[in-house]
Amino acid sequence: MLATFLRRLVSSLPVLVAVSLLIFAFVRVLPGDPAQLVAGPDASEAEIEEMRGWLGLDQPIWRQYVIFVENAVTGNLGNSIRTGQPVADEIGKRLMPTVWLTLASMSWTLVIGLVLGAYAGMKRGRWQDKLSMVVAVTGVSFPNFWLGLLLINLFAVRLHLLPTSGFEDWRSLLMPSFTLGTGFAAILARFTRSAYVEVASLDYVRTARSKGLPEQRVVRRHILRNALIPVLTLTGLEFGNLLGGAIIVETVFAWPGIGRLLVDAIAYRDYPVMQALILLFAVEFVLINLIVDILYGLVNPEVRLRG
């Protein structure tokens, strides 16, 4: 298992190199001049050129990329153009609120999505199945920003039960985590139902039932365990999406996380922060895929033996 993990880790290095090239090119095709933004609207051309040299934007493009890669490898992510603070410090202050938001969202999302999907699969074709899928489709259809504003209007403005924004205590997590996880809970429910129905129709499940095994044991050991394998892939990828893609939710709720930091960095053309955040998201996805591979082996011994 360790050898497989190391091989996958090494094979991910070309992916990270390609991602670094895309990130570097992406942030530089955005309209706007960071030197102009830092120098101010009344700055002269000489002052703008001086600022461009201070920011390192006067060097050849290939040299800027080499510096970016060297800094990323050594952990020196540079300083923020907007605040002048080290990028690592800027991200460090915003990372944990996003992690807590993601974990809170995933905790109830997994429970509701898996339970609702498995229940719909067990009641396939009945009214419970149809009702569960209607709920799932409704959850997918709600845009995050609209649902967030709806919750703020109800629980914060009208009922005065929850804070409208910021991260103060566990009450601050309720509305953002629900908003962030609703779409994934609905997708997970539909995906789990499909996996459950597919596994339940296989020969070894019918054989287990024909042997007279209790239905609960058949469901727990033969259906759910094998249906979880494709669900793990979806869960791992969605965890990466939630961790790196909570931009809209963090903006709606003024959440002090890395999603909102990325929005501010794009608005200010803060190259070092944008590059560091997008590279962080890419590394997250690579690591999450490796973790999913390990979980495959724990859930299915056949996968572990093949590895």
Determine the pLDDT at residue 225.
77
- Domain covering 93-268, topology: MetI-like fold (1.10.3720)
Domain residue ranges in the chain:
93-268
More confidently predicted of 12 and 281: 281
* Residue positions counted in the chain: 307
How confident is the model over 215-270, as pLDDT tens digits? 778 877 778 777 877 787 778 777 777 776 578 888 888 888 888 888 888 887 78
- CA 97 centroid distance within chain: 14
The pTM of the whole model exceeds 0.85: no
Mean pLDDT of the chain: 81
Whether 147 and 186 have beta carbons less than 8 Å apart is answered as no
* SS3 call for 149: helix
Determine the pLDDT at residue 303.
55
Least confident of 122-136, 140-154, 240-254: 240-254
Determine the pLDDT at residue 139.
80
Angle at which helices 271-299 and 87-122 cross, to 10°: 40
Token pair belonging to 275: 């590059």
How confident is the model over 30-77, as pLDDT tens digits? 776 677 776 767 777 787 777 777 777 778 888 888 888 887 777 777
- C-alpha span between 163 and 152 (Å, rounded): 8
Determine the pLDDT at residue 306.
52
Residue 256: which residues within 8 A CB-CB, separation 6 or more?
Answer: 93, 94, 97, 166, 167, 250
